[in-house]
Amino acid sequence: MTSRLPETLPASALGARITAGDFGFDTTADLPADPGWLGQDRAVDAIRMAAGMRHGDFNAFVLGTPGSGRHRIVRAILDEAAKNRPLPSDWVYVNNFDAPHKPRAIELPAGQANRLRHAMEQLIDELANDIPALFESEDYQTRRNAIEQTFADAHEEQMTQLFERARSRNVAILRTPMGFTVAGTHEGEVLTPDTYNALPEEQRETIDAAVDITQDELAEVLKSAPAREKEHRAQVEALNAEMARNGVDAAIAEVQRAFPDLDAVRAYLETVRADLIENAALFLLREDGAQDGPFPGATSKHYAKPQFQRYAVNVIVGQPEDADSGAPVVQEALPTLGNLIGRIEYASEMGALVTNFTMIKPGALHRANGGFLVLDALHVLSEPLAWDALKRCLRTGEIAIYSPGERLSLISTVSLDPDPVPLRTRVILVGERSHYYLLSALDPDFAHLFKLEADFNDHMPADPEDLTAYAGMIAAITCKAGTRPLQAAGVAALLRESTRLTGDSERLTLNTDTLSDILREADHWADGNGHDAIAEADIEKALHERERRASRLRDLSHEAITRETLLIDTDGTRVGQINALSVLQIGGYAFGRPSRLTARTRMGAGKLVDIERETELGGPIHSKGVLILQGYLATTYATDAPMSLWASLVFEQSYGGVDGDSASAAELLALISSLSGVPIDQSFAITGSVNQFGDIQAIGGVNEKIEGFFDICAARGLTGRQGVLIPQANVKHLALRRRVVDAVEAGTFRIVPMSHLSDAIAVLTGQEPGTRGKYGTFPEDSVNARVESRLHEFAAMRRAYMRAAMEQGGTS
C-alpha cells in the first residue's frame, strides 16, 4: 500500500496576487484625490435619504465598525445637504413680567436675535440717561414744585384758620418735640398751672371748653393729613408716570420701527413699555442701590446693572446677520443632559441659589435646530438621563429644559419653567452594530424614532476593475494624512495587507483609519530612507515594526516551546498525538500557537470524555465539536455493534479556557490514530472543524495559525517535511507574511488543503484511509478498517465482560 503524497499549495496561492503591474500609474500623486466613498453606496444612500427626507421622524442610525470613516462621511454628506437648506430661525428667551418663573421663548427670523438684543441694550442705556434727565428738567421741576406748593399752601391755610379760631377763643396751639399741644391764654400769655388755678372757677370752665373745642378741631386737621399726603403722592406719581411715559414711548417706538413686521416682538415690547413706566424709579437708583430722588448720578453700561436684567434678551440661537442660507450641522462630543437639551444655571447670593431667565443656556438640540445633530450612540447611552431626554424631545417635537436634580427631586431650590422650543432637527446616531441591534431589541421607542439605518461595509470585493478606484481612495488618505504619495509597488503591498486585514484574499478592507496609520508609519520610514514616494520596502518595514512592537507575548509563548517548556514535536511520529492550532487575541494583536492534543482509548460504555469540558475549561462551542466527533464515530464505524468505547481528549499543558470548534478535526484524527494504532506525522499541524459526515469546514484566523506553527518550525530548523493542513474552504482567506511565502516557494514548508477527513488521514499517516466497498467493508489494513476492527474488539470484550459478570452474579 502506497502512501498518498501531500498536495502542497503553490506560493502564488498564499495571498492576493496584486502587483505594481496591475496599476497604470507611477505614484498616487497621478490619481485624483477624491474618489468618493468607495464600497459604501448602501450606507451613503441611507444618509442622503435622512438628510433629504422632509418628514420629521426619519432620523438615522449609522452602524459599522470603528475606523470605517463613518463620522467623516456623515459630516461630508450633511455639510453638503445643509448648504441648500434655509437658515433656521433665531430663538430668544425674555422675561415674563406677569410670571417671572416662566420665561417666554420668542422665535425670530434668522439674524434678528442679536439685533433685538442690541436694540434692548441701547433702549435701556438711552432710558438710563433720558429718564433722569426728564426728572431734572425745568418743566418737571416746575410742575413738581407746583404740586408741592399747592399741598403746602392748602395745609398752611388750614393750620392758619385753626390758629385764628383758637386765638379767638383765647387758646394757643403750641409745637413741641412730641407734636402739638393746646393751652389757654390770658391777656395774650399762656396760662401757667399756678395762674390757671388762681382764676375763678367760671373762667376756668370757659377756658377748658375752648381748649376742648380747639383740640377736636386740631385732631380733625391732623386726621386729614394722610389723605392729603396720599393725594399728594398720587399726583406726584401721575406726574412721574407722565414724564416716564413720554421718554419710554419715544424709545420704544424707535425699537418697534426696527422690527416692523414681527408680532411677537411687538407684543413683547408692549409688556416692556408697561413695566418700564411702572418701574421708572429703577432708573433713579444710585450705584449702591439706594434711591437718590430724581437725580441719580450718570453711569455707563446701564444694561449690565442687576436691576435692568429684567429687560435683557437671552439669545439661545442667533444666526449671523450676513448669512443668507445654510442649516447648522452640530456634532456634540459630550452629550450630557445639559449639553443636549440646555441647562439653567444658578448663582449663590446670601447663601441661597438664585436664577433668572438670563441664566438659561442652550444645548446641542437648540444649536442644531433646523439642521442636523450628530451624536455618538455609546456616549448618549452612557450619560445619565441623556437617552431618555433625547427620545422625549424627538417624540414630543419640542425641547423642554430641566435639570437632573429637578427630575429626580434631589433639590428644592425654586427653578424656572421656560417655554419649550419647537424641535425641527434631524438626529444622526453613530454607533456599532451591537448598539443598533440591542436598541432594536430592548427599546420599543427606537424603531419609531430612528427609521433609517446606514450600515457601513467592513470590506469590498478585490475585483481587478476596482483596484484603481481603491488606489484612488489611498491617494485621498495620503492627502488627508499629509504623507508622501505611494509608488505603485507600495500600493500593491498596501492592498495585500488590506486583504489580510479582512482575513480574505478576495476582499479589501474599508477600515480607512488602519490604512492611514500604516501609511503614516511607512511615511516615517520613507523619510529615514530618503524616498520621495513611499516604496514597497517602506510598507513592509512599517508592517514588520507594527508586528514587532506587539509581539512580546507571542515571542514568550514561542520561546516556551523552543526551550521545551511546552512540549511540541515538529518531527517524528506518534500514536494518538497531533499538533492543533489556536489563535490568541491580546488587545489588537492576534498570533497563532500550536498545542499538543492527545487521545487515549479503551473498552468502555461508549463515553467520550472531554477533559477540557469536565474541568470547565472548555466553552460551549468546543463541547459541541466534541459531541459531533462522538456522532461521527458512532455512525461511521462498527454500526452493527453498540459503541463500546471509552476515550479521553485533552489539550496538554493548557491551563486556560478553550473554545471554538477549529480543533475538532485534530481531535477526531487523534482518536482515529489511537484506535487504529497508526502514528501521526508530527511534522504537521492541523486546523479545521469537522461535521458528522467527515467534511472539513472553514475556521477563523488561518493566517495567524499557519505563521504560528511556521515560526516554531523555523526556529528549530525547517526540514522540508513540515507544514500545516488547512480546510480547502480557507484557501481563499490566505494572506501570509513574506517569510512563509518564501519558505513555501523554496520547498522547505508546505501548506496542504483538505476537504474531507480522509485527506488529512492520508497526509498525516502516509496510509490509505480506506473507503467502504460494495460489501460494506473497509479495505484490509486501511486506517478505517483498523478503527472498525478495534471497535468490534471493544464490543466483543464488553459482551464477554458483561456475560462473565452475569454468570458470577448468578453463581453467587
Q: Where in the chain is the domain with CATH 3.40.50.300?
A: 40-86+325-456
Burial label, 600 (beta-carbon count in 10 A; 0-12, 13-18, 19+): middle
Top pLDDT among 36 and 442 is at: 442
* Angstrom distance (rounded) from CA 359 to CA 480: 41
DSSP letter for each residue of 727-741: EGGGGGG----HHHH
Give the span between the Cα atoms of 486 and 464, in whole angstroms.
19
Distance from C-alpha of 158 to C-alpha of 165, rounded to nearest angstrom:
11
**pLDDT-derived band of residue 641, with 50, 70 and 90 as boundaries?**
confident
User: For residues 521 and 516, what is the distance between their CA atoms, to the nearest angstrom?
Assistant: 9
**pLDDT at position 621:** 61
> Which residues lie across from 373 on neighbouring strands?
330, 427
> What is the location of CATH 3.30.230.10 in the chain?
556-795
307 or 531: whose pLDDT is higher? 531
214/220 Cα distance (integer angstroms):
10
Contact (Cβ atoms closer than 8 angstroms) between residue 36 and residue 450: no
Q: What is the pLDDT of residue 810?
A: 64
The amino acid present at 564, given as its one-letter code, is E
Q: Which amino acids are annotated catalytic?
A: 662, 705
- What pLDDT is recorded for position 304? 57
Whether the predicted pLDDT of 533 surpasses 70: yes
As a whole number of angstroms, the distance between CA 633 and CA 791 comes to: 10
Residue 1 confidence (pLDDT) above 50: no
CA pair distance 482, 768, nearest whole angstrom? 60
3-state SS assignment for residue 686 = strand
The predicted structure's pLDDT at residue 541 = 93
C-alpha to C-alpha distance for 348 and 375, rounded to whole angstroms: 33
Smallest Cα–Cα separation from 510: which of 472, 478, 470?
470
User: Per-residue pLDDT tens for 109-148?
Assistant: 988 999 999 999 888 888 877 777 766 767 767 777 777 7
Question: Rounded to whole angstroms, how far apart are CA atoms 90 and 99?
Answer: 23
pTM reported for the whole predicted model? 0.79
* Strand runs labelled E in 335-395: 343-344, 347-349, 352-354, 360-361, 372-376
Any residues with CB less than 8 A from the CB of 437 and at least 6 apart, and which? none
- Interacting residues of 67 by C-beta distance below 8 A, sequence separation 6+: 511, 512, 513, 514
At 141, list the grid cell: 421741576
Q: Decide if 775 contacts 781 (C-beta within 8 A).
A: no
Q: Taking Cα atoms as reference points, which of 512, 461, 456, 469 lies closest to residue 46?
A: 456
- Residue 605 reports pLDDT greater than 60: yes
Indicate whether 162 pLDDT > 80: no
User: ∠ at Cα 514 (659, 455), nearest 5°?
Assistant: 75
Instruction: Say whether 668 sits in a helix, a strand or coil.
Output: helix
Specify the pLDDT at position 702.
93
Residue 656, SS3?
coil
SS3 (DSSP) at 461: strand
Look up residue 478 and give its three cell numbers.
495620503
DSSP conformation class of 701: -
| pLDDT score recorded for residue 125 | 85
Distance CA 113, CA 87 (A): 13
Residue 811 banded pLDDT, cuts 50, 70, 90: low
Amino acid sitting at position 560: A
Least confident of 485-494, 515-524, 600-609, 742-751: 600-609
CA pair distance 181, 146, nearest whole angstrom: 31
The share of the chain scoring above pLDDT 90, in percent, equals 39
Pairing of strands 313-317, 189-190: unpaired
Mean pLDDT within 728-739: 92
- Tell whether domain 40-86+325-456 is in CATH 3.40.50.300: yes
Number of helices (H), then strands (E), in the chain: 27, 30
Nearest-CA neighbor of 151 among 210, 230, 80, 88? 230
Into which CATH architecture does domain 556-795 fall?
A: 2-Layer Sandwich (3.30)
* Alpha-carbon gap, residue 424 to 85, rounded angstroms: 13
User: For the chain, how far is it from start to end, CA to CA, in angstroms?
Assistant: 52
* Rounded CA separation 564/141 (Å): 111
Rounded to 10°, the helix 113-136/138-168 angle is 40
Residue 664 in grid coordinates? 475538532
Q: In CATH, what class is 23-37+459-549?
A: mainly alpha
Q: How far apart are CA 367 and CA 326, in angstroms?
A: 13
Residue 87 CA to its chain's centroid (Å): 27
| Residue 684 DSSP SS3 | strand
Q: Give the SS3 label for residue 806.
A: helix
| Chain position carrying cell 473497509 | 778
Instruction: Give DSSP secondary structure letters for 167-208.
Output: HHTTEEEEEETTEEEEEEEETTEEPPHHHHHHS-HHHHHHHH
Instruction: Tell me the average pLDDT across 174-196.
Output: 73
> What pLDDT is recorded for position 299?
38
Q: Which of 532, 519, 430, 425 is nearest to 471 (CA)?
A: 519
Mean pLDDT confidence for 448-474: 91
**Burial 416-446, CB ≥16 within 10 A → b, else e:** bebbebebebbbbbbbeeebbeebeeeeeeb
Which residues pair with residue 105 across a beta bridge? Answer: 93
Q: In the chain, helix, strand, coil percent, each to 5? A: 50, 20, 30
Average model confidence (pLDDT) across the chain: 84
CB 697 within 8 A of CB 682: no
The pLDDT of residue 411: 62
| CA pair distance 471, 477, nearest whole angstrom | 10
Judged against a pLDDT cut of 80, whether residue 221 lies above it is answered with no
**DSSP one-letter string for 395-454:** HHTEE----HHHHTT---S----PPPEEP--EEEEEE-HHHHHHHHHH-TTHHHHB-EEE
157 confidence band (pLDDT: 50, 70, 90) = confident
Residue range 213-231: average pLDDT? 76
Residue 653: which pLDDT band, with cuts at 50, 70 and 90?
A: confident
Q: Cell numbers 490566505 label which residue?
A: 734
Where in the chain do CATH 1.10.8.60 domains reside? 23-37+459-549
- pLDDT value of position 78: 94
Give the Cα separation of 614 and 604 in Å (integer): 18
Better pLDDT: 47 or 3: 47
pLDDT of 427 higher than 60: yes
Asked whether the beta carbons of 158 and 144 are under 8 A apart, the reply is no
Kind of pairing between the strands at 426-431 and 507-509 = unpaired
Distance CA 251, CA 127 (A): 7
Evaluate whether 452 touches 46 at the Cβ level (below 8 Å): yes
Comparing 320 with 300, the larger pLDDT belongs to 320
Per-residue pLDDT tens digits for 312-324: 999 999 888 777 7
Structure-block grid coordinates of residue 778? 473497509
Neighbours of 585 (CB within 10 A): 10
Average pLDDT (255-278) is 88
Which of these ranges, 211-220, 370-379, 486-495, has the smallest mean pLDDT? 211-220
Q: Are 489 and 48 in contact (CB under 8 A)?
A: no
Phi, psi angles (nearest 5°) of residue 341: -105, 0
The three three-digit cell numbers of residue 391, written as one number: 427620545
Top-ranked range on mean pLDDT: pick from 98-102, 378-382, 628-632: 378-382
CB 650 within 8 A of CB 609: no
pLDDT at 295: 30
CB distance 305 to 365 below 8 Å: no
Percent with pLDDT over 70 in the chain: 89
Cα dist. 334→51, 330, 401 in Å? 23, 12, 17
Beta bridge partners of 452: 60
